[in-house]
Every structure is written in C-alpha cells, then in structure tokens.
C-alpha cells in the first residue's frame, strides 16, 4: 500500500528533521533523508496522479503528497546552499492554510478509526508547518526547540506508527496492505 510506504518514511524524515532542529544532526547530513523521502513521495505522487487507477481522489492525494515532497526538497536545498529559509517559511504558511480544509474534510468524511487518526495527522502537520512559518519567515527562533520536539514526536505518531500498521495490515479500521 503506497500510503503506508510514504507514511513510514515521512515518519523517518520528520523524526530526523526534529533531531536536526534540536542540534542532534548536522546540516550536511540531514540533506540525505530529505532528498530520499522527497524523491519517494514524489514517485508515489506521480503514480497516484498518472497511474492506471488515476481518478479525482488519487490526483488530489498526489497534490497533497507533493506538499511533503516539495518541503523536503526545499529543506535539503537550503542546507546545501545556506539560504536563510524565508522562502520556505512562506511556503510553509501556504501548506499550513491548505491543511485547514483537508483536516475538516478528513474529519467530516470520517467513518472509522483510520479517518479520525488521519484527521489528527493533518491537523498536526498543519500546526508543524505553521511553526516552520513562524521560525523561518517571521524569525521566531525561540520556537525552534519546541518545533524540533514536536517534529520528532509527529514523526512517530503521524508517520512511523500508522505507516508500519498500514504496511503490516494491522491498522484499525483499514483493510490489509
């Protein structure tokens, strides 16, 4: 299941990017995971948008997945070229605002455990992207530690755990892989 694959690796990149914000991973190293997961989510998005079962829902899923891909690539690019991140910060505001209707739609259309969990994930990601906006675009550096802790925690509960459960076919309220 592509969603499980993508979420599992999104969990890894969020966890490590959180550690990077906390100063536990060097700028030169974090680029590797950001490029890898950016590429993986890009490939998933391309399959969703242009694969044999492409329809309106899968194309929407691709568009939303590309929000992640582009963020990871931009983080990697900024680490490579030494940019201050203001542009990425403003992009993060765009994404955080986009998360509002996605969160509402996910909760409103929810019928089971997975839908509630996924709604919580979108809400969480929106908060995280908004924190990145505050840090990068508005220079609120005092939020860096909080953002790092939240980013690592979200890597676990919005990515790694649901991704693994989806891949193993044990996600409550969702069929097998």
Task: Dump pLDDT digits (tens) for 61-85.
Answer: 999 999 999 999 999 999 999 999 9
- Over range 5-23, report the average pLDDT: 97
- The pLDDT value recorded for residue 114 is 87
Domain annotation covers residue 174: no
Closest CA to 121 of 44, 43, 67: 67
* pLDDT surpasses 70 at 177: no
**Rounded Cα gap, residues 98 and 100, in angstroms:** 5
Within-domain flag for 7: yes
Nearest CA among 26, 111, 122, 17 for reference residue 73: 17
95-141 pLDDT tens trace: 999 999 999 999 999 888 888 999 999 999 999 999 999 999 999 99
Number of helices (H), then strands (E), belonging to the chain: the values are 7, 0
The domain tally of the chain equals: 1
**Percent of residues, the chain, with pLDDT higher than 70:** 97
Domain containing residue 143:
2-168
Query: Does residue 68 lie within any of the structural domains?
Result: yes
Residue 175 lies in a domain: no
Is the pLDDT score of 15 beyond 50? yes
Residue 176 lies in a domain: no
CATH for 132: 1.25.40.600
- Spell out the residues 6+ positions from residue 76 whose beta carbon is closer than 8 angstroms to its own: 30, 31, 34, 35, 38
Query: Does any domain span residue 94?
Result: yes
- Short-list 13, 4, 1, CA closest to 151: 13
For the whole model, what pTM was predicted?
A: 0.93
């Amino acid at each position: 299941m592509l969603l499980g694959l993508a979420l599992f690796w999104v969990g890894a990149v969020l966890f490590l990017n959180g550690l990077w914000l906390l100063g536990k991973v060097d700028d030169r190293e974090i680029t590797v995971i950001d490029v890898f997961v950016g590429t993986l989510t890009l490939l998933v998005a391309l399959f969703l948008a242009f694969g044999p079962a492409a329809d309106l829902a899968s194309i929407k899923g691709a568009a939303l997945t590309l929000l992640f891909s582009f963020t990871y690539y931009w983080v990697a690019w900024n680490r490579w070229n030494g940019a201050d991140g203001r542009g990425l910060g403003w992009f993060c505001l765009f994404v955080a605002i986009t998360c509002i209707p996605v969160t509402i739609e996910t909760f409103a259309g929810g019928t089971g455990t997975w839908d509630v969990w996924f709604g919580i994930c979108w809400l969480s990601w929106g908060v995280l992207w908004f924190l990145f906006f505050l840090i990068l675009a508005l220079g609120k550096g005092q939020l860096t530690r909080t953002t790092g802790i939240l980013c690592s925690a979200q890597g676990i509960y919005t990515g790694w755990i649901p991704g693994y459960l989806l891949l193993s076919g044990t996600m409550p309220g969702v069929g097998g892989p």
